[in-house]
Structure 1
């Protein structure tokens, strides 16, 4: 009898949990992005933004949005740390790729890193949120121009309607991934644009799981 009631309780009150992987070059604003998510979506908030230091390894956060739990992994973006990114691909439901939109000197490096990420079959066909971050800076460029610079404009147009759901629970489906990409303009320091991006990720996963 206890098992019956416990099962009913789980069905009524348990929440779906998704896993979001935050990736990008060092100094793109990934950890600030994570801590700002905590500020926006958790009662306790995040770390003081002026206390943030470069990530060595992994930062973890949990938020709740639209009736779902989201476990967020923030991985270091230094060259030597990018080697561990693929260890997390098979476990994630979505990726947030953060780009410093005000640092054109590193756009070629961003493009090479993003291309390598997309070519890794272990990532499967999870949805990709592309954040043109630091939009508050004078030298920044908007997300729509940024995706052209990265050479992924065609990918975004092809999947803009999100017509195919992410089959992240079926490893066999990773053979020919077709991902959904969506660009956003964000400023992690102020939180601008972040709610729209994370809401899109969660609502997309809810609609297609």
Structure 2
């Protein structure tokens, strides 16, 4: 969208490179953007840095209140929505049912943000669309693994339409990670969490 040239480096998180450990020694995870030799860490921070550094084709709203509100919903996506979906994926029994209920309530809140809009940013893709873009890929993978149908088109028509619009946009359609690798990674992490909980 910004039409910036960049080099993409794939990272094997089961065998972290010295480069990753050098640029992100605290969290030791991706993504990391390195610009002018300096690392910028965490997705939301990276997006904000990109938008403020390369000002053409802005993705943030101009209005300070709208900008603050966008950051709030990005945090909600990470802290509440993603956390509840992950709990529904790894929990068992009654805890799983409670996590599913919480996830559905959080999805309803996100659905409400799209009222009358094609994208969270309005008629074009914006900052919050990128922050919540993981929904398009991750939710369907989690559903396939668990047999659930978390975002049903009938129950969540606006979010379903957004998922289709965002994932098939020329800006995003060629950037999704390979599905089979995502499935195997999620199963690996879930099994590791379950075996830790069992011991």
Task: Answer yes or no: same fold by TM over 0.5.
Answer: no
TM-score normalized with structure 2 length? 0.29
TM-score normalized with structure 1 length? 0.28
Query: Structure 1 or 2: larger strand share?
Result: 1
Query: Structure 1 or 2: larger helix share?
Result: 2
